[in-house]
């Protein structure tokens, strides 16, 4: 899963940053956790999306430094929302999807870091291809500014293709990536291109994000 791939990168960074530092002396794990980034009830009501799941995933890594070994636990949060849409010959399908991912910023020995911070939007989207059947992300076609969690954010739009009921369809993929109150937030919306007005729904969902971080 994409969370495990990102956290594997984070584990390598932790080993590099903390190697040779004497602070790793405790018996308990160093724990870092993100707060969920969820969509408000008002935004869900406006767009017709339903909450499918809000889950967390924790990965533990053994980090060796200064001759000792210490466990590091990183907990990410993911939320998924869907909407049933009419696709003509393909019938009604829950083919409009909006996913959020929150990953904590890790602080150690006076440094803060998170692998998402250095990833391009294209690289981040590569981690999310498993969220939609047969998704392949193509070229970026548009950027727009949206107001989410108190600041202006860039919402990028890409062309792509996906597989629905065994048929390849053209889709749009929207993505925003930013830092908020100690966590890195990623919001991704995916829907068939033929759906009129669905881009506006993705904007509304992004602008309707709630997140209570720990800055």
Q: pLDDT digits over 152-166, tens only?
A: 999 999 999 999 989
Per-residue confidence (pLDDT) for residue 25, from 0 to 100: 41
Give the other-Cβ count within 10 Å of 148's Cβ: 21
Q: Is the per-residue pLDDT at 15 higher than 60?
A: no
Give the architecture (CATH level 2) of 34-55+76-211.
Answer: 3-Layer(aba) Sandwich (3.40)
Predicted local confidence at residue 115, as pLDDT: 73
Best CA proximity match to 97, nearest among 145, 139, 129, 62:
129
Q: What is the pLDDT of residue 63?
A: 60
- Determine the pLDDT at residue 56: 93
CA dihedral 8, 13, 18, 20 (to 10 degrees): 100
pLDDT in tens, 26-65: 456 678 899 999 999 999 999 999 999 999 998 777 665 5
Q: Output the pLDDT for position 131.
A: 74
Residue 89 has pLDDT above 50, yes or no: yes
Measure the CA–CA gap between 14 and 11, rounded to whole angstroms: 5
Domain boundaries, the chain: 34-55+76-211
User: What's the whole-model pTM score?
Assistant: 0.83
pLDDT of residue 18: 38
Asked if pLDDT for residue 101 goes beyond 70, the answer is: yes
Confidence of residue 22 (pLDDT cuts 50, 70, 90): very low
d(CA 19, CA 61): 14
Q: Lowest-pLDDT range, 5-9, 55-59, 92-96, 173-177?
A: 5-9
CA distance 136 to 162: 6
Percent of the chain with pLDDT over 70: 77
């Amino acid at each position: 899963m994409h969370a495990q791939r990102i956290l594997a990168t984070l584990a390598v960074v932790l080993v590099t940053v903390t190697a040779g530092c004497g602070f790793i002396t405790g018996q308990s794990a160093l724990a870092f956790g993100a707060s969920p980034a969820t969509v408000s009830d008002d935004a869900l009501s406006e767009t017709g999306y339903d909450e499918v799941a809000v889950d967390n995933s924790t990965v533990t890594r053994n980090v060796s430094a200064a001759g000792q070994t210490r466990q590091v636990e990183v907990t990410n949060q993911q939320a998924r929302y869907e909407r049933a849409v009419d696709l003509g010959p393909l019938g009604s399908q829950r083919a409009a999807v909006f996913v959020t991912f929150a990953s904590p910023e890790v602080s150690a020995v006076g440094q803060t870091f998170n692998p998402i911070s250095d990833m391009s939007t294209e690289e981040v989207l590569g981690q999310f291809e498993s969220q939609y059947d047969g998704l392949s992300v193509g070229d970026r076609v548009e950027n727009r500014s949206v107001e989410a969690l108190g600041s202006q954010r860039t919402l990028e739009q890409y062309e792509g293709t996906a597989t629905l009921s065994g048929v390849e369809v053209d889709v749009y993929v929207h993505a925003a990536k930013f830092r908020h109150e100690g966590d890195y937030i990623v919001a991704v919306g995916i829907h068939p291109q033929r759906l009129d007005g669905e881009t506006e729904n993705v904007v509304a969902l992004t602008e309707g994000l709630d997140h209570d971080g720990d800055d």
